[in-house]
């Protein structure tokens, strides 16, 4: 049998959960509410739906490898230079590009734990040493992460708001970290949930790109924009970083239809504001409910919450899935006795709360 990299023996393929139709058949259910992947329960912009009614795709022609049209509009919206943008099949592919570009045997990378697992996964594939610094009540321990940086550190990963805890990073702490981080260490700030953040807690990281030549900010259309199925995201950094990433990037890594629909979605700020307002209403209501039943939770600036459970998160997961609700048990995220759930539609969350009350009494 062919042998791959030795590092692959430390890893396993991504294991997705059971599919909705499979769960329906298994538990004889008519409807499933999926709260496990942090997708937008409000779908996507009506402008996108209108566009799709008229769009005639040219599937026989390669997409624009430079993503010129979307690049131009997004650069103007972000007040950035077109040369400061790099696009990927979701921001997740840019994580992979960063690892392939800057990580290899003999260097190390620093990250929080728990955090988005693909940082570690891809770093191990490239043969880098991984330094994991435990979060403090869900927040990045930035002083400890800074202390972990040494002469062999090439990349530091920051995730704000953090996945899976939902905790945001304070601007003052971020600036202090950047001021003290060696300028030869790439700092990756993953802002996948940026659109959900309270404006008063926005660290305005994109405005710091010119101040810190070693910073790259990642964002995506998969979350608030509701385009997870299209797989398109982007990074913002100085041109020197972007040029290196473009060397390892596949020449046609984002599809024509993804580029076009992202362009349409960017025009609909009202949809994003509506999504954010509905998400906040549901979040505040659910937080009050958790107070009422005396369950703890992590402070979230996202469309999901990490909730402390009276016992095993896996046990609660099994109970919920039998009643048509899919969540993520904390045991799979490295945080026992918790579940992570997407904040769903108001009526679904009301039913979900009823189930938690029943579970609490059992």
| pLDDT at residue 19 greater than cutoff 90 | no
Per CATH, is 56-267 categorized as 3.40.640.10? yes
Q: Is 334 left (phi over 0), alpha (psi -120 to 50) or beta?
A: left
Alpha carbon 258 to its chain centroid, in Å, reads 18
Task: Give the pLDDT confidence score for residue 20 in this predicted structure.
Answer: 80
| Fold annotation for 6-44+270-360 | 3.90.1150
Could you tell me which of 284, 267, 281, 213 has the C-alpha nearest to residue 48?
267
> Tens of pLDDT along 32-44?
999 999 999 999 9
Share of the chain above pLDDT 70, in %: 99
Q: What's the mean pLDDT when you consider all of the chain?
A: 96
Cβ-Cβ contacts under 8 Å for 339 (sequence gap 6 or more): 306, 307, 309, 313, 316, 317, 320, 327, 328, 329, 330
Q: Render pLDDT for 104-151 as a digit per residue (tens, 0 to 9).
A: 999 999 999 999 999 999 999 999 999 999 999 999 999 999 999 999
Global pTM? 0.95
pLDDT above 90: percentage of residues in the chain: 90
Domain boundaries of the chain, sorted by first residue: 6-44+270-360, 56-267
Strands 33-34, 325-326: pairing is parallel
């Amino acid at each position: 049998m062919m042998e791959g990299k030795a590092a692959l023996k430390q890893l396993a393929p991504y294991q997705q959960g059971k599919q909705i139709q499979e769960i329906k058949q298994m538990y004889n259910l008519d409807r499933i509410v999926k709260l496990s992947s942090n997708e937008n329960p409000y779908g996507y912009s009506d402008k996108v739906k209108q566009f799709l009614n008229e769009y005639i795709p040219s599937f026989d022609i390669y997409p624009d490898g430079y993503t010129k049209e979307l690049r131009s509009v997004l650069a103007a919206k972000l007040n950035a230079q077109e040369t400061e943008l790099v696009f990927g099949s979701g921001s997740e592919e840019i994580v992979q590009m960063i690892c392939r570009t800057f990580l290899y045997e003999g260097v190390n990378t620093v990250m929080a734990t728990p955090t988005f697992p693909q940082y570690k996964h891809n770093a191990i594939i490239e043969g880098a040493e991984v330094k994991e610094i435990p979060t403090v009540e869900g927040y990045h321990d930035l002083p400890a992460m800074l202390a972990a940086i040494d002469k062999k550190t090439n990349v530091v990963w920051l995730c704000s708001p953090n996945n899976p805890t939902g905790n945001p990073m304070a601007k003052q702490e971020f600036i202090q970290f950047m001021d003290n981080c060696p300028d030869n260490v790439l700092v990756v700030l993953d802002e996948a949930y940026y659109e959900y953040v309270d404006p008063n807690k926005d660290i305005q990281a994109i405005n710091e790109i010119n101040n810190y030549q070693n910073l790259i900010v990642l964002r995506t259309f998969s979350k608030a924009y509701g385009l997870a199925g299209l797989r398109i995201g982007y990074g913002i950094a100085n041109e020197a970083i972007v040029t290196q990433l473009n060397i390892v990037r596949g020449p046609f890594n984002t599809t024509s239809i993804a580029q076009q629909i992202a362009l349409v979605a960017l025009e609909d700020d009202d949809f994003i504001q509506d999504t954010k307002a509905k998400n906040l209403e549901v979040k505040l209501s659910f937080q009050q409910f958790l107070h009422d039943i005396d369950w703890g939770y992590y402070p979230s600036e996202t469309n999901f919450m990490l909730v402390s459970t009276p016992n095993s998160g896996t046990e609660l997961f099994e109970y919920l899935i039998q009643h048509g609700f899919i969540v993520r048990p904390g045991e799979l995220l490295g945080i026992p006795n918790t579940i992570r759930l997407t904040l769903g539609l108001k009526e679904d969350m009301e039913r979900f709360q009823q189930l938690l009350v029943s579970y609490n009494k059992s």
